[in-house]
Amino acid sequence: MSDVTSILSQIRSYQHQMGTRALEPNPGAFAPNRVGLEQPGVKAPSFGETLQNALEGVNGAQKNAGALAQAFELGDPRADLARVMVAAQQSQVAFRATVEVRNRLVQAYQDVMNMPL
């Protein structure tokens, strides 16, 4: 159970650094009867934009981890081992989450394509 707690805390830490709030509960997110509560003039991001932002966040985490690792290897005193390892783990968790989302999207596409007409 401590492994799950550790992974969740890493994900929350990563989200805090990226400025996202995806894991926090949003009670109004799935309320279909709340018609007309959208703010006028504010456009909700599309699925493509959301996916693009998520991929850019993963790419940024991987670049950050790589830069910290390189700085550590070059002997930069600001890049301590703990920061390098945390950045690498955050990058790995973000990448695994991205792969899992991709796998589920592919599975959903295959399910729809295999539906009888």
CA distance linking residue 45 with residue 67, whole number of Å: 30
User: What value does the mean pLDDT take over residues 70-92?
Assistant: 92
Other C-beta atoms closer than 10 Å to the C-beta of 90 total 22
pLDDT score, position 30: 39
107 has pLDDT over 60: yes
Distance (Å) of CA 106 to CA 52, 59, 96, 100, 101: 17, 21, 15, 10, 9
Domain ranges of the chain: 46-117
Q: How far apart are CA 114 and CA 29, in angstroms?
A: 30
The mean pLDDT value of the chain amounts to 79
- Phi, psi values for residue 46, rounded to 5°: -75, 170
pLDDT greater than 90 at residue 42: no
Where does the pLDDT of residue 32 fall: very low under 50, low under 70, confident under 90, or very high at 90 and above?
A: very low
